[in-house]
Amino acid sequence: MSLAPRDAAAATAPTRSGQSAPPAHVAIIMDGNRRWAEARGLPIPLGHKAGAEAVRRTIEACVEQGVGWLTLFAFSSENWLRPAEEVRALTGLLRLYLRSEVATLAKEGIRLRVIGDRSRFGDETMREIARAESVTAHGTRLNLTVALSYGGRAEIVAAARAIAEAARDGRLDPASLDEAGFGRRLFTADMPDPDLIIRTSGEQRLSNFLLWQAAYAEFVFQEVLWPDYDAEALADALREFGRRERRYGARTG
């Protein structure tokens, strides 16, 4: 399976069966773990644990559907403001997932990358992240990116700061800067922009996720809570994407 980024025309070209090709890059705002647990009278950490199982199902479904890039919004920069007990449960689950799943990801040909301010998780977790990225670096079936301690505004500010410093030091002519040059300073520098952004649990907002990269993405909002997400839910979103006409700002008709 080729995972090279596709151009705009290829992203919507019909397949041999007459169906639209799957989006090259799907990004998902995984929402609803807390509500799922509360609706069942369960502790919040069990909702996050159930959400981790949904991640496994979604990765498998993306491979089956021919999606080459999957980005999951797992922990936002604002999530640090949640109750300390919940944050500890989330970070503990993250370390457990990295330790228990990395061998399977490598075996299945899935490359894992993490974007965001990983330094906030501490040395132990940073080592686990680096190990997981190294072990899975040669995967070609699916590019899996997990956004951790990530915020779109902070990402843009960091890129702007790097550009300003380069201009100050004489390493960059500001007049030469274009959108592509700016994009190369983002966490997602070597990734295609998302074609489809999905948000679960019925909420309809980006919540500071991939603000720059979402310029021409299609959005699908689904009522399903994240722990209940499965292959059929993903297929529903992909079918909706297939019905969209993508213009990339060009006029038609």
Strands (E), the chain: 25-29, 69-76, 110-115, 142-150, 196-199, 218-221
Q: Residue 55: exposed, middle, or buried by beta-carbon count in 10 A (0-12, 13-18, 19+)?
A: buried
31 labelled catalytic: yes
Contact 195, 22 (CB under 8 A): no
Given 31, 143, 193, 195, the catalytic residue: 31
Given 7, 79, 173, 195, the catalytic residue: 79
Write out the binding residues for substrate: 32-36, 48, 76-78, 80, 82, 199, 205-207
Task: Enumerate the β-bridge partners of residue 219.
Answer: 197
Question: Among 154, 147, 153, which residue's Cα sits nearest to residue 121?
Answer: 147
Say what the alpha-carbon torsion angle 205, 207, 213, 218 is, to the nearest 10 degrees: -20
208 labelled catalytic: no
Cβ neighbors of 130 (< 8 A, separation 6 or more) are none
Contact 146, 72 (CB under 8 A): yes
Write out the binding residues for Mg(2+): 31, 218
Q: At what angle do helices 44-65 and 231-243 cross, to 10 degrees?
A: 60
Write out the binding residues: 31-36, 48, 76-78, 80, 82, 199, 205-207, 218
Element (H, E) at 107: helix 84-107
> Residues with catalytic annotation?
31, 79
